[in-house]
Structure 1
Amino acid sequence: MCSHYESVKDKETLKSHFSIDNIPDDVKEDLWPGYLGSFIRKTEDATSRELLPGSFGLIPHWATDTKIARHTYNARSETVAEKPSYRDAWRLGRRCIIPADAFYEPDWRSGKAIQTRISRADGKPMGIAGLWTGWKSPDGDILRSYTMLTINADMHPLKCLFHKPTDEKRMVVILPDDQYDDWMNAGVDDCREFLREYPADMLVAGPT
């Protein structure tokens, strides 16, 4: 599971790699659940992409406050269509891309949790598959939020090294660069075709 990641720090790289023009000013670069980050979605006319601020951790419309974001930052692909927190966003096709330079996982092979930074081997940003939604506060304000989709990684050559030995191994879904629009435009029945492991030799990991 991924509870800590870095957003893309270089604005020009963010614009060029993800083909977006707008960059929000009030988002954090070092993200934990409940922090204000950013996600990419289709524009309303579906002709281009836009980057929007949002809480890291999905806040469903029925939530009474934003504290739920501390528990909804990752959505399991196996249950995303049924879990109350995610099923509406999944059914309504509210798919997004979460731009990231890296994410962090604990390496327990030494018997202690060693915080480890994982990034693309080619140095390019990651486009992590996610879901987004909007939440209306009791005061009437609208807050957008997002979550990362995860898949089982027990057999992944790299991700199987992380988390406690007794824990299931999970990894976020990192999309190939040429599939960003396909992911956001796909019908619900076709979405699971994108939920695949990212090749281990295309990632690098090292202690922070």
Structure 2
Amino acid sequence: MCVNYVTVKRDSLARFAALDQRVPFAPRGEWEHEVWQDYAAPIVVAAPQGRDRRCLVASYGMVPQHRLAPGSRAYSTMNARSETVAELASYRDAWARFRFCLVPMERWFEPNYESGRHQRWSIGRADGAPLAVAGLWRAWEEPDGRRVCSFTQLTVNADAHPLLSRFHRPGDEKRALVPLAPEHWDAWLHCRDPDAARRMLVLPEEGLLTAGPEPLAGTADPQPGLF
């Protein structure tokens, strides 16, 4: 599962939606280019009225770590399996309320073991254009009254995909994010039928994506933790 990706820069957001200035930004008015759990990053959601879109800055992971009950075991909500998203407590309310979002990114990272050891690989569009992957979002009210947002990325089985089946440990089920084609962005954001939403969660055809090694800058590849 994806736990790290490269988001788009502010000047690239216009192709997705207008940025909602009322939503709190990350420190210094900008988000980190490489996103990890609980980092702030832009997402695209349906505008309250009409067919427009808007961009929010939200926290990566449906349940931020500071929202976990004291003493509870830490768990990750950065990815949601599409097959069980309607059942699990962390996601079912957002799914039932059709809180669909797009997660803009340049590329995402997955572990590859074809060399016999873990290597971090990046996956992006072959033409270099930004991606928008399918996700869910929700809002939280902080103790001080601020309204903040969080999000997760949906995943599907990738065992049969020529490229995306090459990631994760040998013997493990292959899972992948779902990049949506631009012509499907609005249909996803405004979908109000769970069956129709599931039908949109289809991996891209072979050739649209490309992948290759991209180690963490200045470090050896870490061994994967939860995934």
**TM-score if structure 2 supplies the norm length?**
0.83
Q: 2-side partners of 1:132 and 1:163: how far apart?
A: 26
Q: 1-side partners of 2:75 and 2:182: how far apart?
A: 29
Contact 2:3 2:37 in 1 (8 A): yes
Q: Is 1:48 paired with 2:46?
A: no
Q: 2-side partners of 1:182 and 1:109: how far apart?
A: 37
- Structure 1 position 122, deviation (Å): 1.1
Structural mapping, 1:55-134, within 5 Å? 55-59=59-63, 63-64=67-68, 71-134=76-139
Q: 2-side partners of 1:50 and 1:14: how far apart?
A: 10
Instruction: Give 1:146's aligned residue.
Output: 151
Instruction: Give 1:33's aligned residue.
Output: 37
Instruction: Give 2:12's aligned residue.
Output: 13
Contact 1:74 1:150 in 2 (8 A): yes
* 1:132-167 residue CA offsets vs partner (Å, 9 max, x unmatched): 001223443322000000000011101111111021
Aligned residue pairs: how many? 204
Q: Cα RMSD over matched residues?
A: 2.2
Gapped regions of structure 1 (runs ≥ 5)? none
Q: Which runs of 4+ in 1 moved over 6 A?
A: 66-69
Q: 2-side partners of 1:12 and 1:21: how far apart?
A: 10
Q: Is 1:173 paired with 2:189?
A: no
Q: 2-side partners of 1:35 and 1:65: how far apart?
A: 20
Gapped regions of structure 2 (runs ≥ 5)? 215-227
For the structure 1 residues 125 and 59, does the alpha-carbon distance in structure 2 shift closer, same or farther, using more than 3 Å as the test? same
- Write the letter of the residue equivalent to 2:81: R
For the structure 1 residues 207 and 192, does the alpha-carbon distance in structure 2 shift closer, same or farther, using more than 3 Å as the test? same
Q: 2-side partners of 1:22 and 1:55: how far apart?
A: 15
